């Protein structure tokens, strides 16, 4: 699963980690600032497999500390607090960001519950996926239709931002009840154009802010069960969209 930490030991043994590691204090600070300012949803992974969703609420460069906004009632929090080291995973556009944190302390406050810890000295960046992704032609109004994962009687029709053979990104407006990372979206009806329609199950991998002016967030979804005929239709659509993009660039 893409939201799980990358196995650094195995990856290091195979290819080395130098190309993925960021250890310049300035670059580490810049990445953490992006996560904080973008209100990016992060997964905090304990060694026993427990996962807690959080956002980076504060970053103090002088003290070298981080503050994660968490839900103190989350059942995954107690094992997280007992861990010597926790792996944090999140996304900045198509880049998977991963780093370790230590010495976690839960602080309860009037404005919310904050999980404090030491800031990391190094961060790892990985390309999210190697499959070719295309942006649908807007005049076709590509959409994904499905039931809300927690509100059964709510039908959603969300705009498709981009799509690949392995997953897609949907736009969720601010006025629609949020969806949580890890949610399973069953029988999503994807309509890309008059000739490309199929149903597929998806798992919501991550939610990414698009900025205050966007009035919504980006839902990064992975296809979990796709019929071979649907995949063939999707591949034809991707190939055709790629060719059209090249022709438009030449014009």
Q: Is the pLDDT of residue 107 over 50?
A: yes
Average pLDDT (66-87) is 88
Q: In angstroms, rounded to a whole number, what is the distance separating the alpha carbons of residues 144 and 250?
A: 31
Least confident residue range of 49-58, 87-96, 129-138:
129-138
Residues of the chain with CATH 2.40.10.220: 138-250
The answer to whether 221 touches 168, Cβ cutoff 8 Å, is: yes
Decide if pLDDT at 76 tops 90: no
> Mean pLDDT throughout 1-9?
55
pLDDT at 67 > cutoff 60: yes
SS3 readout for 137-191:
CHHHCCEEEEECCCCCCCEEEEEEEEECCCEEEEEEECCCCCCCCCCEEEEEEEE
Closest CA to 217 of 248, 180, 192: 180
| 138-250 CATH fold | Thrombin, subunit H (2.40.10)
pLDDT value of residue 106: 92
Residues of the chain with CATH 2.30.110.10: 8-127
What is the rounded average pLDDT of the residues 2-11? 54
Average pLDDT over residues 129-146: 67
Provide the CATH topology of domain 8-127: Pnp Oxidase; Chain A (2.30.110)
Q: Measure the CA dihedral 60/64/66/72, to 10°.
A: -110
Q: What mean pLDDT value characterizes the chain? A: 82
H-only helix segments in the chain: 8-15, 25-37, 77-82, 228-250
Q: What is the pLDDT of residues 18-43, one digit of tens each?
A: 667 888 888 899 889 989 888 888 98
Determine which of 136-140, 163-167, 172-176, 211-215 has the lowest per-residue pLDDT on average. Answer: 136-140
Lowest mean pLDDT: which of 79-83, 128-132, 133-137, 217-221? 128-132
What average pLDDT does this structure show over 220-239?
83
Looking at the chain, the whole-number percentage of residues with pLDDT higher than 90 is: 27
Interval 154-201: pLDDT, tens: 999 999 998 888 889 999 999 999 998 888 999 999 999 888 899 999
Q: pTM for the whole thing?
A: 0.51
Assess contact for 98 and 89: CB atoms under 8 A. yes
- In this structure, what are the phi and psi dihedrals at residue 138, rounded to the nearest 5 degrees? -60, -30
The alpha carbon of 21 is separated from its chain's Cα centroid by a whole number of angstroms, namely 20
Question: With contact defined as beta carbons under 8 Å apart, do 20 and 126 qualify?
Answer: yes
Q: Which residues contact 126 (CB under 8 A, 6 or more apart)?
A: 6, 20, 95, 96, 98
Of the ranges 20-29, 54-63, 130-139, 235-244, which one carries the lowest mean pLDDT score? Answer: 130-139
Q: Which long-range contacts (CB under 8 A, 24 or more apart) does 239-246 make?
A: 241/134, 241/135, 241/136, 241/137, 242/132, 242/134, 244/137, 245/134
């Amino acid at each position: 699963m893409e939201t799980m930490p990358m196995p650094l030991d195995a990856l290091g043994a195979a290819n080395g980690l130098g190309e993925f590691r960021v250890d310049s204090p300035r670059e580490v600070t810049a990445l953490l600032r992006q996560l904080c300012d973008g209100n990016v949803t992060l997964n905090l992974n304990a060694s026993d497999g427990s996962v807690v969703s959080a956002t980076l609420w504060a970053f103090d460069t002088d003290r070298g500390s981080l503050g994660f906004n968490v839900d103190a009632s989350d059942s995954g929090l107690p094992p997280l607090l007992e861990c010597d080291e926790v792996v944090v995973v999140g996304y900045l556009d198509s880049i998977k960001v991963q780093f370790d944190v230590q010495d976690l302390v839960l602080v309860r406050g009037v404005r919310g519950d904050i999980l404090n810890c030491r800031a990391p000295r190094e961060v790892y960046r990985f390309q999210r996926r190697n499959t070719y992704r295309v942006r649908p032609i807007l005049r076709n109004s590509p959409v994904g239709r499905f039931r809300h994962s927690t509100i059964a009687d709510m039908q959603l029709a969300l705009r498709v931002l981009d799509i690949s053979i392995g997953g897609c990104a949907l736009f969720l407006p601010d006025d629609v009840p949020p969806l949580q990372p890890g949610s399973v979206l069953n029988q999503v009806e994807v309509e890309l154009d008059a000739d490309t329609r199929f149903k597929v199950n998806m798992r919501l991998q991550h939610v990414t802010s698009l900025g205050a002016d966007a009035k919504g967030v980006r839902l990064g979804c992975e296809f979990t069960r796709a019929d071979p005929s649907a995949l063939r239709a999707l591949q034809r659509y991707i190939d055709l969209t790629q060719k059209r993009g090249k022709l438009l660039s030449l014009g």
